[in-house]
């Protein structure tokens, strides 16, 4: 079993939290893990990315080779496209459709969505909208994680346990909302796959 995952977004959008949840769940399942990240740019609106590698065998490189990523999980649509050279031929792209426009030359959104719709395997959802319905915009990243969960080859319950562990100091309400966000994302993907 192996999953090579590129996590992408803009600083402050919570991709490190996604990595922490998947990582905690992976360790609970006794899997090997390597997670590399870009530091420092997060507060300054730059693009951020993390290489998350999970395997039942020892992992060599901290970096995922180009063309070998099983998943690109992105909380921002333009950022999902930035790492396409890493995607394997049967890899999936899971992305939010809500743009983060902090640069003057951000391309037109319909052109960005055209590029996403060209992809062989993708799930695109407005994670912000779904998070708002649950009652917390902050959980948009967890909605994306939920949408990606069917592709992780990991036990869903272990992801829930990881959320309970990571948010343990934030109180029952926060944990509950995040678990709902995770499920909402998963439900979205299941509806897409069944249609």
Partner 1 sequence: MQRLLLLGDEAIAQGALDAGLSGIYAYPGTPSTEITEFVQHSKQAKQDNIHSTWSANEKTAMESALGMSYAGKRSMVCMKHVGLNVAADPFVNSAITGANGGLIIVAADDPSMHSSQNEQDSRFFGKFAMVPVLEPLNQQEAYDMVHYGFDFSERYKIPIMLRITTRLAHSRAGVKRRDSRKKNDLKLPEDLRQFVLLPAIARKRYRNLLKAQDLFEQESETSSFNQYIDGPDKSLGIIVCGIAYNYLLENYPDRHVPHPVLKIGQYPLPKKMIERLYEECKEILVLEDGYPIVEESLKGLLGKGLKIKGRLDGTVPRDGELNPNIVAVSLGMKDTYGLPVPSLMVGRPPSLCSGCPHIDSFKALNEVLKVLPKGRVFSDIGCYTLGALKPYEAINSCVDMGASITMAKGAADAGLVPSVAVIGDSTFTHSGMTGLLDAVNDKSPITIFILDNGTTAMTGGQDSAAFGKIEDICKGMGVEEGHIHVLRPLKKFHEENVKIINEELTYPGVSVIIPRRECIVTIDKRVREKFKKTEAAE
3-state DSSP of the chain: CEEEEEEEEECCCCHHHHHHHHHHHHHHCCCEEEEEECCCCHHHCCEEEEEEEEECCCCCCCCCCCCCEEEEEECCHHHHHHCHHHEEEEEEEEEECCCCCCCCCCCCHHHHHHHHHHCCCEEEECHHHHHHHHCCHHHHHHHHHHHHHHHCCCCHHHHHHHHHHHCHHHCHHHHHHHHHHHHHHHHHHHHHHHC
Residue 161 binds to partner 1 (criterion: CB under 8 A): no
Residue 86 binds to partner 1 (criterion: CB under 8 A): yes
Residue 103 binds to partner 1 (criterion: CB under 8 A): yes
Shortest Cβ 113–partner 1 spacing (Å): 11
Shortest Cβ 27–partner 1 spacing (Å): 7
Among 14, 18, 75, 91, binds partner 1 (CB under 8 A): 91
The span from the CA of 78 to the CA of 97, in Å, is: 9
Shortest Cβ 147–partner 1 spacing (Å): 20
Nearer Cβ to partner 1, position 84 or 175?
A: 84
Residue 44 binds to partner 1 (criterion: CB under 8 A): yes
Residue 82 binds to partner 1 (criterion: CB under 8 A): yes
Among 17, 35, 95, 149, binds partner 1 (CB under 8 A): 35
Among 1, 56, 62, 193, binds partner 1 (CB under 8 A): 62
CA dihedral 93, 43, 160, 155 (to 10 degrees): 40
Nearer Cβ to partner 1, position 132 or 170?
A: 170
**Chain positions contacting partner 1, by CB under 8 A:** 10-11, 23, 27, 32-41, 43-47, 51, 58-69, 78-79, 81-82, 84-89, 91, 102-103, 105-107, 111-112, 115, 119
């Amino acid at each position: 079993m192996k999953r090579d995952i590129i996590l992408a977004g803009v600083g402050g959008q919570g991709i490190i939290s996604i990595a922490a949840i998947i990582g905690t769940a992976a360790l609970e399942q006794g899997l090997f893990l390597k997670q590399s990240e870009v530091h420092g740019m997060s507060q300054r609106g730059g693009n951020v990315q993390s290489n998350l590698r999970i395997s039942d065998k020892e992992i060599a490189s901290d970096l995922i080779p180009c063309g070998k990523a099983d998943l690109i999980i992105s909380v921002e649509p333009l950022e999902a496209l930035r790492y396409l050279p890493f995607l394997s031929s049967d890899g999936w792209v899971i992305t939010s459709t809500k743009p983060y426009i902090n640069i003057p030359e951000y391309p037109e959104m319909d052109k960005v969505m055209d590029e996403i719709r060209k992809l062989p395997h993708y799930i695109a959802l407005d994670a912000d909208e779904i998070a708002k319905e649950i009652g917390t915009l902050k959980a948009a990243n967890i909605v994306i994680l939920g949408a990606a969960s069917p592709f992780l080859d990991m036990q869903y319950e272990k992801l829930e346990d990881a959320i309970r562990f990571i948010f343990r100091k934030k109180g029952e309400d926060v944990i509950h909302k995040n678990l709902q966000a995770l499920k909402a994302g998963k439900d979205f993907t299941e509806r897409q796959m069944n249609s």
